[in-house]
Amino acid sequence: MNVVEEIKNKKIIHWFRNDQRVSDHEIISIHHTLKSIRCFYLMDAKWSENHQLGFPLIGEKRKQFIQESIQELKNDLEKLGIDLTIIHNSSELKELQVDDDEILTYQKLFGTEEIKIEQTILSLFANSIAIDNFTLTDNLTLPFELDKTPNVFSSFRKKIEKYGSFQNPITLPDIPEVSQPYVMSGGEQHAIHRLNYYFYEQKLLSIYKETRNGMLGTDFSSRFSPWLSNGNISARTTYAFIKDYEKKFESNSSTYWLIFELLWRDFFQFQLRKYGSLFFQKNGINGKSIAYRNHEDTFWNWANGTTGDDLVDANMIELKTTGWMSNRGRQNVASYLVHDLNINWRWGAAWMESQLIDYDTASNWGNWMYIAGVGNDPRPFRKFNTKGQAERYDSEGNYRNKWLK
């Protein structure tokens, strides 16, 4: 029995997590068939906590993006006659006053902290139904057992493309006739406007593979990641619009490459499911022991963009200023922290968790392990030459000049 049939004519409480949208949503799409529905969002316990180094576990830019997303979600739900309660800490959960016949529905997440929160919430309900909708890949048709998930991306991708299948969107959002100017703000409408601009108005998807390694400006990359990570738009909706674009305009290596990137995202999601808490351990998933210096002053020079390396500093200043950094920048600053400064990769991963508006547990910690040499990289040592990278990707210095001025 699928979710629709299982909850039809039932009383539902939906717990919003990283599924902050009304389009392409298992529960909201069938709200009219339910006996009743109400929703809540629980603010992360990290909202008011600090890391051992003193920085907030969730920084101001990320907080702002989440608040914008939740406020838009609340407004959109109100238009459908659905109430969204925002709960600021777990002690307020008792105020939900759950009826015995109410069923909890929620998005399943797989980080160790997310699992702990889930256990607390589930203890309040007699009945619950988990929804697994964060990946493009359909977990029900994986061509391998979870514990046999390939540890190398190329093997994972080839098996998924040949033997697996992708999730289909339930409903697609309406595309506006004219897009609003690009704003890096949370919410489903901002995501849809960005998709419309990038795909249909500018047709930038056709050149994505050629431009994706850029660092300056807003159009070298899709920049969908903040909305994907918070669930303002789903991976399966994004995929559906890629296929629509290919049908209407063209199919080439660039249109495929955005699908390729969605599969990279899925790769780390399934690695997290496979390895669990090892994702957050110093020796990572391969158990490799590395000695770090862990000088706090050195870490803060990196975090504040005062290392003396122009490329690293420019990227770190952009991150603190905007809450975002290019993929090329992320690889370089991570490599520099671990391999040049010899600082524990987990400090860097925690800083990115605090600062990035597109923070995603699996992608963030998985990529940091990858760069540090304790994760899924088939090469034993991945060190970036930041001087060479600057010459290659910022040859005229325009990016560095913008952020170091």
Domains of the chain (ranges, CATH numbers): 3-131 (3.40.50.620), 135-276 (1.25.40.80), 281-404 (1.10.579.10)
Q: What is the number of other CB atoms lying within 10 angstroms of the CB of residue 377? A: 18
Which residue did the predictor score with more confidence, 339 or 5? 339
Compare 2 and 159 and report the one with higher pLDDT: 159
Q: What is the pLDDT of residue 76?
A: 98
pLDDT of residue 253 exceeding 70: yes
* Strands 36-42 and 127-131, sheet pairing: unpaired
| 109-151 confidence digits (pLDDT tens) | 999 999 999 999 999 899 999 999 999 999 999 999 999 999 9
Confidence of residue 1 (pLDDT cuts 50, 70, 90): low
Give percent above pLDDT 90 in the chain: 88
236 against 4, higher pLDDT = 236
Alpha-carbon Rg for the chain, nearest whole angstrom, is 21
> What are the phi and psi torsion angles at 40 (to 5°)?
-145, 155
Contact of 348 with 295, CB cutoff 8 Å: no
What's the average model confidence in pLDDT over 261-278? 98
Residue 213 identity (one-letter amino acid): N
Between CA 45 and CA 43 the distance in angstroms is 6
pLDDT in tens, 221-242: 999 999 999 999 999 999 999 9
pLDDT score for 380? 67
pLDDT of residue 97: 85
What's the whole-number average pLDDT of the chain? 95
d(CA 85, CA 347): 34
Q: What is the mean pLDDT of residues 56-62?
A: 97
Other C-beta atoms within 10 Å of 393: how many?
17
- For residue 405, the model assigns a pLDDT of 85
Q: Is 241 helix (H, G, I), strand (E, B) or coil?
A: helix
Overall average pLDDT of the 58-65 stretch: 97
390-404 pLDDT per residue, tens: 999 999 999 999 999
Q: How far apart are CA 300 and CA 319, in angstroms?
A: 14
pLDDT at 71 over 70: yes
**CA atoms of 227 and 207, how far apart (whole Å):** 21
The beta-carbon contacts of 299-305 under 8 Å, at least 24 apart in sequence, are: 299/53, 299/337, 299/341, 299/343, 299/347, 300/53, 302/333, 302/336, 302/337, 302/341, 302/343, 302/348, 303/55, 303/351, 305/403
State mean pLDDT over 289-308.
96
pTM here is: 0.96
What digits encode the pLDDT tens for the residues 165-182? 999 999 999 999 888 888
Query: 39 phi and psi, to 5 degrees?
Result: -135, 160
pLDDT of 4 higher than 80: no
pLDDT digits (tens, 9 = 90+) for 73-117: 999 999 999 999 999 988 888 888 888 899 999 999 999 999 999
Mean pLDDT (whole number) for 309-320: 98
162 pLDDT band, cuts 50/70/90, is very high
H-state helical runs in 249-309: 253-275, 296-304
Work out the average pLDDT over 336-353. Answer: 97
At residue 313 the predicted structure's pLDDT band, cuts being 50, 70 and 90, is very high
User: 344-357: b or e for each residue (b if 16 or more CB lie within 10 Å)?
Assistant: bbbbbbbbbbbbbb
- Measured in degrees and rounded to the nearest 5, phi and psi for residue 104 equal -85, 130
Q: Which residues pair with 112 in a beta bridge?
A: none
Q: State the angle between helix axes of 345-355 and 296-304 in degrees (0 to 180), rounded to the nearest 10.
A: 40
> Residue 5 has what pLDDT?
79
Q: In this structure, what is the dihedral angle of CA atoms 135, 139, 142, 144, given to the nearest 10 degrees?
A: 110
Is there a contact between 246 and 255 (Cβ–Cβ < 8 Å)?
yes
- Nearest Cα residue to 3 out of 40, 41, 30: 30
